[in-house]
Amino acid sequence: MGLATPTSIMVGTGRAAELGVLFRKGDALQALGGVRVVALDKTGTITAGQPELTDLVLADTAQRGAVLAAIAAVEARSEHPVAQAILRAAQAENLALPMAQDFRAEPGFGVLANVAGQQVIVGADRLMAREGIDTGPLAQAEARLAAQGRTALFAAIDGRLVAVLGVSDPVKPASRAAVDALKAMGLQVAMITGDKAATARVIADETGIDHVIAGVLPSGKVAALAQLRAHGRLAFVGDGINDAPALAHADVGIAIGTGTDVAIESADVVLMSG
């Protein structure tokens, strides 16, 4: 046993490395054998993490060019994939972006800044509710976007709702096959996302995922894992900075190699490709 155990671990981890699976901790190999639930982050894990702005629905008196330029000026200060999608859309329309000042990002809510003397707020409905901005005039548009699997964001200027934006992040071509393979092994597969339930359900239906925990703030992923752990030993798969606590908290943390360095450092196992 003294010879066989370390030899088998060395052979197993070596073969895994050839297949693009890096075990950063030897005991992760054994721990994976007992996993019963695999929880997947959505953006950048199930989806490609390369979103595009697909919709910009304006309030009655808003002008598209001015609104998109103001929103993009704020999002230019953010590194979030959704922010970059909005910025690319503004650049594609050759819009001149004003300077954004006093920028503030609030994970799970959205971003705020002053643009040309006006306060611009872009984010989820919970951010608008907190700021006392009525989203009713564009609520139907937001519901329609969510039903199409879009991530929907509201935008307000000086306390007045001006637009709802739809951002689409396509599912990775291999995601459905990966979920099917996990389920064929008898594992339960769950998705954790900050998106609204309607948006999350579209992605889950496309990939065959049965259990969805939606509307989760970045700080709430660990609590979401606690819910899932009731079903057995748990593995979590993620790629972003805000996935690091969940990767560390799971029985086995699995990072996507195309993700952030923080996620990779927090994981027990790294998938070297996307």
Cβ 257 vs Cβ 271: under 8 Å: yes
Structure tokens at 173: 């071509």
* Residues 6+ away with beta carbon under 8 Å from 17: 23
**From edge to edge, which strands make up the β-sheet containing 234-238?**
21-23, 269-271, 252-256, 234-238, 37-41, 188-192, 211-213
**DSSP alpha helices (H): ranges in 44-174?**
64-75, 81-92, 125-130, 139-147
Helix H or strand E segment including 191: strand 188-192
**Any catalytic annotation for residue 125?**
no
Picking from 92, 93, 130, the residue whose alpha carbon sits closest to that of residue 108 is 130
Cβ 239 vs Cβ 253: under 8 Å: no
Catalytic one among 41, 125, 243, 268? 41
- DSSP-assigned beta bridge partners for residue 155: 122, 163
Picking from 154, 164, 148, the residue whose alpha carbon sits closest to that of residue 126 is 154
**Residue carrying the six token digits 């594609």:** 92
Residues with catalytic roles: 41
